[in-house]
Structure 1
Amino acid sequence: MRLALAHARAETANLGRYPGYSVPTIAFPAILLLLFGRTFEEGEPQRLYAGFAAMALLGVAFFQFGVGIATTRTTPWESYLRTLPVGPATRLAGRVLSALVFAAATVAAVSLVAFTVYGVRMVPWRTVALGSTLLVGCIPFALLGIAFGYWLSPRAALPVANLLYLPLAIGGFLWTRPTEDVPRSVDIASQMLPTRSWMEVLDPVATGDHPVPLHHVAALTAWGLVFLALAWWGYRRDEGERFT
């Protein structure tokens, strides 16, 4: 764990030195909520807050990991790190912890807009519960980002991140609640997405309207295990191709 924390600190410090990454990553979701939140609010500011925060974390996971890993894994520094006596589990844990740092900052910026502009009000324990659910829930998506960061080339990583980002956000109903107007086939397809399971868990935590659906908790956990396997496999594959 000590080595994972050291790797996370180094990764976070490295990304923090580039304002071109850190500033848009932290500020863009909050700006998006400020400009377009009224369109999707539908009288449910707590759900709107949870959905936009989830979308923000999805961006951190895909662009920090997916694009970041793909563009840096062939650099001399990354090659040097591979020569150190550290296993892939430690490296993956360090990257996930680093993502959680940026995730917390991104959620804080979204929270500022949600609480000051949209009048979101939550008792302290519910705020803590929602924040914890957001951070824990983004781990499967961070692992997905790691997976395609190791499986894809630097040129392919950014297009794939963009192609996955919006469909997962829209298909998972992160912005709006599914209504009776949504075709049943679309609703069924949506429920198969990891983002839909995440939102179905976040919604009751944010609003308190109904209990947390345990089948969606199980589905999100299963997706996390699948993405972990893909990330581990991609790491080993990349290591085998370049270091054997």
Structure 2
Amino acid sequence: MKSIVYLASLHAKFQLLEAFRIPISIVMSLISPTIGLLFFVLPQQSAGASSDAITKSVIALVIFGVMVNSLFHFAVEISQARERPWGSYTRSLPVGQGAILLSYLFSSGVLSLISVIPLLLMAIILTDASMGVINLIIGVISLVMTCIPFMLLGIAIGYFSVPKAAVAIVQVLMLILAFGGGLFIPPDTFNELFNNLSYMLPSRSSLEIVSWGTGINNDFPLKGLIGWITWTLLLLVIIILKIKNEVDREY
């Protein structure tokens, strides 16, 4: 019997091939975060913002790019796949819930992480953002870890909604997560109540953990880590139960 990882990687391979058959979607995923850099970060630099402030803005924009692409890729792809005959067929196969979930994490996760590469290159070339190599490596690892709740949230939206509704939900949700999580507005400007509420969002958890990993914030992000663990476990349980319910219904 084939392992779960093998089955998931095989399924993810064909999902990626399907995605690259429509290159415009890949191009837009690469361009969108970069546009944010040009219109939000570069004007700050022209206005005399410090190197640390620019670095914080770039980190927030990287998280935003991964978040948006994760939500859209997962929510739209899964909601569309569930309505196709092929989706019903694959759900009836005896591969287990783990392989189905991992395949989506592999395929859409890769696309989401690739989307920030042009943004990082533009930030290096055009901005005063600075970071050591070690901090950069730790930051990338932190980013990969903290993007998991965004992926799981996108998967949950895909399983609980139809394609048109999924797009609308993601559009509203990404603004709530971006503004509430301190990606567009620095958390330092939040009042005490809003600051505490902000820690309930996965975007704030990601910002705190990645900022600590890159050395921008020296305080250990205990609240962010608790939020990340809570969101990851909660969404994972919800998704596994939903997948199991759909697989059982196919039989």
Q: With the length of structure 1 as denominator, give the TM-score of the two structures.
A: 0.92
Alpha-carbon distance change, 15 to 132 in structure 1, aligned in 2, over 3 angstroms:
same
Task: Please state whether the residue corresponding to 1:100 is helix, strand or coil.
Answer: helix
Deviation at 1:155, TM superposition (A): 2.4
What is the total number of aligned residue pairs between the two structures? 242
Residue 91 of structure 2 corresponds to: 82
**In 2: Cα distance, 1:40 partner to 1:230 partner:** 41
- Partners of 1:186 and 1:176 in 2: how far apart? 12
Q: Distance in 1 between matches of 2:225 and 2:118?
A: 26
Does the 8 Å contact 1:40/1:175 carry over to 2? Answer: no
Map 1:94-105; keep pairs closer than 5 Å.
Answer: 94-105=103-114
Could you tell me which residue of structure 1 aligns to residue 26 of structure 2? 22
- Aligned counterpart for 2:40 among listed residues 36, 40, 43: 36
Q: Which secondary structure does the structure 2 equivalent of 1:73 belong to?
A: helix
**1:166-187 deviation digits (Å, cap 9, x = unpaired):** 11011000133223x5322211
Query: TM-score, with normalisation over the residues of structure 2?
Result: 0.89
Residue identity over aligned pairs, in percent, reads 28
Which of 11, 18, 24 matches 2:15? 11
- Counterpart CA distance in 1 for 2:125 and 2:20 is 27
Q: Which residue of 1 aligns with 2:203?
A: 195
Residue correspondence of structure 1 range 124-163 to structure 2 within 5 A: 124-163=133-172
Report the CA distance between 1:9 and its aligned residue. 1.4
Moved more, 94-103 or 165-174: 94-103
**2:181 is matched by which residue type in structure 1?**
G
Match of 1:205 in 2: 213
Q: Give the Cα separation in 1 of the matches to 2:245 and 2:175.
A: 28
Q: 1:177 to 1:207 in 2, by over 3 A?
A: farther
Of the structure 1 ranges 230-239 and 132-141, higher mean CA displacement relative to structure 2 is found in 230-239
CA contact (8 A) 1:67 1:161 kept: no
Q: Residues 62 and 142 of structure 1 are in contact (CA less than 8 Å); yes or no, is this contact kept in structure 2?
A: yes
Take 2:171 and 2:100, find their aligned partners in 1: how far apart are those partners?
A: 25
Aligned mates of 2:217, 2:170 — CA distance in 1:
33
Q: In 2, Cα distance between the equivalents of 1:99 and 1:219? A: 23
Mean CA deviation greater in 30-39 or 223-232: 30-39
Task: Point out the more displaced range, 62-71 or 205-214.
Answer: 205-214
Report the CA distance shift for 1:2/1:132 in structure 2 as closer, same or farther (over 3 A).
Answer: same
Distance 1:25 1:139 in 2: 18
Is the CA contact (8 Å cut-off) linking 1:40 and 1:176 kept in structure 2? no
Equivalents in 1 of 2:30, 2:95: separation in Å? Answer: 30
State the Cα deviation string for residues 39-96 of structure 1 (Å, max 9, x = none).
Answer: 5665312211211111011112110011211122111221222232211111101111
**Structure 1: tracts of 5 or more residues without a match:** none
CA distance in 1, matches of 2:234, 2:176: 20
Do the aligned partners of 2:91 and 2:246 also contact (CA within 8 Å) in 1? Answer: no
User: Structure 1 residues 164-173 or 122-131, which shifts more?
Assistant: 122-131
| Structure 1 position 226 matched with structure 2 position 234 | yes
Task: Write the distance in 1 (CA, Å) between the matches of 2:210 and 2:43.
Answer: 20
- Determine whether 1:2 maps to 2:6: yes
Moved over 6 A (4+): none
Distance apart, 1:12 and its partner CA: 1.4
C-alpha deviation, 1:97, in angstroms? 1.3
Q: CA RMSD in A?
A: 1.8
